[in-house]
Structure 1
């Protein structure tokens, strides 16, 4: 629902402890099967937090293609201020040599606070919310280094995932609005969704990618076009029916289908899906494969999907980024395979297992 292309700047924004770093780390881990170089810049983070990120990449990702540039919370303000610039310079080095690079800056809210600290020590006049007047220029000059170079310039790319922290969900504060206006879109994480165990806690209403579906694999774009609308309709109906209102059969089916979309959109940490698995899940939703499956069994469906596809429908499991929209024949075979998997988890088999 939120396409991200190489050379793009996509802001990850939300309150503290809502999973912003987790999304960025999963994006790094998801590059393990590619040749993308990942650079992680930690600005003002605790040493224990950085150690968890490094350990996760070592265990689940490709650490031989990852660089970590760290300005810890106890480092000098000047060093913390230089951290994202140092990381971006390293990323540009590889981009200039035709490589694709993913840069994560965690986070620019702390970077703005450090820059304010340095500026006040230098007796520069403070502006709005005591931040220096050039803080917008500082961050825009940094993030505008993200680009996709033309083939005659080497064809390299630098994709930036800056992170920003909000206070009580206030995305209209000074630094968040600055960064939203600089970047190509934002992924907003809602604390309410996080505490309801909907992880990643992405609010689809406030999240957007201004680049659009042109950056997606054609097969994925064809299947995901209506997903945001279906999910938004479900959320609206769910609020309406919480008051105990009687609903007709059609509305009940929309709500039950929406609940399955919500379960499918949940994702365990450090376990990014392959394109084939994403396509299979979207086909399962669009063809109603999950509608008759009990909600408590959908987790088993998701857990066994990868192994099932590799043995029962290997052509779908092997789909790559250049894959065209599914042919009628492959869609029919994939749907039949998914129905077979769902039957093994249906109410009848569940009862026999018990």
Structure 2
């Protein structure tokens, strides 16, 4: 079968179709910063053509074991709950997972805005270039997001790759790979990149649509058998490189939307197994006014204190344990009023910590 990139309205029966004989590639480079492009790297922001002459294939292989080193540099999001409890390192893959309207995109956008102070500094090694890939979102949502980044003066170090809901399924499938190639340019040139895929569940749906039309045999939930490979080959491209290979990094923040908090569905389990850790957002906490609505018990950090500064390590060392004890005690406290002094102290401390970790959006 053949897949059409873009509008199929002009193609009719009897037309002569020629193959290009080329593998899909996209423009990359610092010239793309501050621009909004589609999945094929064409400018869609009305600011004229892109100035980049460098092009890269979208489906490059992930780096092997030898060029990589373990993650040790912190990638600060500016969100207290994330930086203290589930710290992210440069070169990591951190999944943001939760139901719709729980603040997944807000965490991603906050992270981009927080990089402003690093990017305005003189130290090139601390700068973090951001790529935001919008998959299957409304055009108005993408426009709002670009305005938000422009108002915060964050567009100058950000590339937005957009494959909206009205775009063809092949473009929604391709957008994350295109964005990743743009991010790899920074990684391979000794710089640091951050890529946000918002969200990969929509990419999987687009891939399912394509596969069914191409008559591929469907598997669980009608997804094709290689849907796991679809995400693993994308997320494996995020890495912290050895100093002999430039010492750059590419950090990935994939977003996955769950249905009614079901983390055991097909796509969420696939992506959880591909990522290093996850930030789990809960609707219940969101409606209680605990925002960001991070469930500390289900959110996991495998890098932990290795991706934290010394000061943060000292402050956040026992915080996760205290919050876990608080949740356990709070569950029992609602059944009885007579509590011993130690339990009461745990409850008071837990309430204070919860309040301390609350944060407004874009602050």
Question: Does the TM-score normalized on the shorter chain lie above 0.5?
Answer: yes
**Counterparts of residues 145-156 of structure 1 (less than 5 Å):** 145-156=237-248
1:21 aligns with 2:113: no
- Take 2:327 and 2:298, find their aligned partners in 1: how far apart are those partners? 14
Task: Give secondary structure in 1 for the equivalent of 2:117.
Answer: coil
Q: Choose the corresponding residue for 2:304, options 198, 208, 212.
A: 212
What is the aligned partner in structure 1 of residue 29 from structure 2? none
**Counterparts of residues 159-178 of structure 1 (less than 5 Å):** 159-178=251-270
What is the aligned partner in structure 2 of residue 73 from structure 1? 165
Task: Give secondary structure in 2 for the equivalent of 1:24.
Answer: helix
Deviation at 1:244, TM superposition (A): 3.7
CA distances 1:230-278 after superposition (whole Å, capped 9, x unpaired): 111111211211124311233222211211100011011001xxxxxxx
- Take 1:223 and 1:214, find their aligned partners in 2: how far apart are those partners? 14
What is the aligned partner in structure 1 of residue 150 from structure 2? 58
- Take 1:7 and 1:115, find their aligned partners in 2: how far apart are those partners? 26
Contact 1:28 / 1:61 at 8 angstroms: preserved in 2? no
Deviation at 1:212, TM superposition (A): 1.9
Deviation at 1:61, TM superposition (A): 4.6
How many residues get paired? 271
- Take 2:305 and 2:342, find their aligned partners in 1: how far apart are those partners? 30
- Aligned CA-pair RMSD: 1.0
What is the aligned partner in structure 2 of residue 100 from structure 1? 192
Task: Give secondary structure in 2 for the equivalent of 1:4.
Answer: coil
Task: Give secondary structure in 1 for the equivalent of 2:96.
Answer: strand
1:7 aligns with 2:91: yes
Task: Give secondary structure in 1 for the equivalent of 2:116.
Answer: coil
Question: What TM-score does the superposition give when structure 2 sets the normalisation length?
Answer: 0.73
Task: Give secondary structure in 2 for the equivalent of 1:116.
Answer: helix
1:114 aligns with 2:198: no
Deviation at 1:91, TM superposition (A): 0.4
1:90 aligns with 2:174: no
Contact 1:30 / 1:61 at 8 angstroms: preserved in 2? no
**More contact order relative to length (CA 8 Å, sep ≥ 6):** 2
Q: Choose the corresponding residue for 1:237, options 326, 329, 334.
A: 329
Question: What TM-score does the superposition give when structure 1 sets the normalisation length?
Answer: 0.75
Unaligned runs of 5+ in 2: 1-84, 119-126
CA distances 1:192-218 after superposition (whole Å, capped 9, x unpaired): 001111000000111001122111112
What is the aligned partner in structure 2 of residue 265 from structure 1? 357
- Take 1:185 and 1:206, find their aligned partners in 2: how far apart are those partners? 10
1:254 aligns with 2:346: yes
- Take 1:218 and 1:169, find their aligned partners in 2: how far apart are those partners? 35
- Take 1:49 and 1:7, find their aligned partners in 2: how far apart are those partners? 28
**Counterparts of residues 259-338 of structure 1 (less than 5 Å):** 259-271=351-363
Task: Give secondary structure in 2 for the equivalent of 1:125.
Answer: coil
What is the aligned partner in structure 2 of residue 306 from structure 1? none
What is the aligned partner in structure 2 of residue 282 from structure 1? none
- Take 2:145 and 2:352, find their aligned partners in 1: how far apart are those partners? 31
What is the aligned partner in structure 2 of residue 138 from structure 1? 230
- Take 1:54 and 1:172, find their aligned partners in 2: how far apart are those partners? 33
Unaligned runs of 5+ in 1: 272-354
CA distances 1:148-197 after superposition (whole Å, capped 9, x unpaired): 11111111100000000101100000000000000001000011001111
- Take 1:229 and 1:55, find their aligned partners in 2: how far apart are those partners? 39
